Amino acid sequence: MAVSEEFRRQQDSSHLLLQQIAAVALPALFAAAAAAAAAAAKEKTAAAAAAARAAGEAADADAASAATATAAAATAAATTKTAAAAKAAAAAAQQAAKAFLSAAAPFGYLLEVERLQVRRLLAKSLIDSEVQQQQQQQQQQQQQQQTQQQQKQHEQQQQQQQQQQQQQQQQQQQQ
């Protein structure tokens, strides 16, 4: 009996230790993944703001079409980089969760609650990543449309200026 009691105590202490590790490690893991996603979003926002400033400054110059194309390319590159960072953070969280689940498998029913929580958090992380990616794609499309509209407006202004110059030249020739 003493041997079975000792075995039960060791088994219980192993379960408790694993539960304590899970209670500390999992929130930290998902907090790190969320921080990485937030940092990627901040980086994207900063890149978009810089691209918008560059497009606004270049609109006054004659080379506006080249500058807006450059700004659109920079925005697209920043969006792609942000999406890749978000995917990498989600993949890291998924790998860590899978490693935890496989390590916890032998402990059976005591960790079922933790497994379910990990699965829920993993599913939420993947869904959040997909939603964020869709939002980024929509923002990128909107920025491209705005860039195209700015280019059209600039071209129209140039055409109007050329027409005015031609009219002035015709008036001067008539005089």
* pLDDT attached to residue 90: 72
Residue 168 domain flag: no
Residue 93 — pLDDT band, cuts 50, 70, 90? confident
Q: Average pLDDT of 76-85?
A: 73
Count structural domains, the chain: 1
Asked if residue 80 belongs to a domain, the reply is yes
Span 120-140, pLDDT tens digits = 887 888 888 888 888 888 998
Please enumerate in sequence order all residues whose Cβ is within 8 A of that of 132, keeping only pairs 6 or more positions apart, or say none: 37, 41, 83, 86
- Cα separations in angstroms, 166 against 153, 156, 163, 170, 175: 20, 15, 5, 6, 14
User: Do the domain assignments include residue 162?
Assistant: no
10, pLDDT greater than 60? no
Question: Which residues span the domain enclosing 146?
Answer: 2-150
- pLDDT in the model for residue 63: 54
- The answer to whether residue 123 sits within a structural domain is yes
Structural domain contains residue 166: no
- pLDDT, tens digit (0-9, with 9 covering 90-100), for 104-124: 666 665 567 777 777 788 788
155 inside domain: no
Instruction: Give pLDDT, residue 117.
Output: 76
Q: Is 98 inside any structural domain?
A: yes
Does any domain span residue 159? Answer: no
Amino acid letter, residue 100: F
